[in-house]
A and B are shown apart, each in its own frame.
Chain A
């Protein structure tokens, strides 16, 4: 049995799941917008704008959710500055919580500038370059954060960061695909986004398989309702079904909209990964072992 089974689960409230989800969307969306900022065409501007909007509001929402989870809002400052030694910065290179907080802050700043500035040009490109990298970072670090614990599932594989990043990219693309049409995006712009989304889903599916395989014997921890949800919700409804819809569009309706299904799958992925591990209670496991 993995040693991760004899640790206590963290006291996270439900805020953390939407944070992981929204943070992924924001990061993925900004990255795609940044790619178009550099390599796109003027007609891609509505998609870029949608990406920046999603990134900015996503960063704001993420910050809010994180702060809510802390319990007291001003504690967010403690993540950035040494409370006893203000204004010395609080930065621990070994802690994803610490560098993640900084990354989220800087990402938010980039997203704000990109969203607020409205125009392209070289300064926007430079910001977009930094923000795009930070965006992927924000999308991926949440997975790394989970891996850098001693909890079952999370700490038993190094692939979780990669999986979350891929999911961030796919949900970011899906969110753009969902909102950009209302902002005047052209068919061609959108097609690039949806094509990217389909490929990101394939990457995500491959990573998910690698992740599950890499868990080894710990994979049996999925023998629960969360495992079922992973197969049906994440893989079935969130990856395979939208992939099929990409190949063969099925008409109107939320369930027939690949973007909606991808977003749903991304959300469920965060849910099952968190809850499958959290539901393994240290004292129960230990009692069973002791007997």
Chain B
């Protein structure tokens, strides 16, 4: 079986240029909203506004003025979403077509600072850990990896990040869980409710019959 490939994103060298975003659209021929014209968001220089079917990998610059790593980035990859041009739900394929001919995904290729790195997951994890150690040695005690832990709740993501702050600051969930976690409890509670309502219905029928018996009316024909 081929080695698992994935992304490692080092946010400390991301410069928020959005080359990844444009490269993704270019390679995958994703449309620009409203033919490229929209309104200024008023939010820094960032007019991407939101993640949707045409903005899969997104980096957003947020100013923070203290400390050495004083830019903060929000990012998200692998968003399953509607592509308005195709009319289908799509998600990042890691540029599967490029991989077939030995090319790295468009976003990683376009990233000028190699903030987005693509490669075998195991190798990326080693590289990422080295960078964390280096940052810690330089005094950046908050440096941490996010989503890389193979024993973590999600079993290690194929796209993981180096952060220097709390995950929420980057728009990432602190404690990511699979959505299917709710399936069992929801199902059981629904079934129980169904049973209760069924009982309510039957009790109603029984009461109707009892009322009729008690009221001396016609004998019911229920069987």
Q: Which residues of A does B touch, CB under 8 Å?
A: 1, 3-4, 6-8, 11, 31-32, 35-36, 39-42, 71-72, 75, 94-96, 136-137, 140-141, 143-144, 147-150, 155, 158-162, 164-166, 169, 188, 191-192, 195-196, 199-200, 203, 207, 281-283, 286-287, 289-291
Please state if B51 and A8 are interface contacts (CB–CB under 8 Å).
yes
Q: A160 touches which one: B43, B76, B176, B186 (CB < 8 A)?
A: B186
Please state if A150 and B74 are interface contacts (CB–CB under 8 Å).
no
Please state if A161 and B190 are interface contacts (CB–CB under 8 Å).
yes
Q: A164-B190, A165-B193, A199-B200 are in contact. List 17 more A-B contacts (CB 8 A).
A: A8-B50, A8-B52, A31-B201, A39-B202, A41-B221, A95-B180, A136-B197, A136-B198, A140-B193, A144-B190, A162-B190, A166-B197, A203-B200, A282-B171, A283-B51, A286-B74, A286-B168
Please state if A144 and B208 are interface contacts (CB–CB under 8 Å).
no
Please state if B220 and A158 are interface contacts (CB–CB under 8 Å).
no
Q: Report chain A residues within 8 Å CB of B201.
A: 31-32, 35, 196
Closest to A2 in B: B173
Please state if A158 and B202 are interface contacts (CB–CB under 8 Å).
no
Please state if A162 and B168 are interface contacts (CB–CB under 8 Å).
no
Task: Count contacts on B: residues with CB < 8 A to the other chain.
Answer: 53
Bound complex: CA of A144 vs CA of B172, how far in Å? 24
Shortest Cβ gap from B191 to chain A (Å): 8
Bound complex: CA of A3 vs CA of B175, how far in Å? 7
Q: Report chain B residues within 8 Å CB of A149.
A: 179
| B138 touches A (CB below 8 Å) | no
| B182 touches A (CB below 8 Å) | yes
Q: B52 touches which one: A1, A11, A32, A289 (CB < 8 A)?
A: A11
| B185 touches A (CB below 8 Å) | yes
Please state if A150 and B190 are interface contacts (CB–CB under 8 Å).
no
Bound complex: CA of A148 vs CA of B201, how far in Å? 29
Per the 8 Å Cβ criterion, residues 26-76 of B in contact with A are 43, 49-53, 60, 62, 64, 72, 74, 76
Bound complex: CA of A204 vs CA of B30, how far in Å? 45
Shortest Cβ gap from B153 to chain A (Å): 11
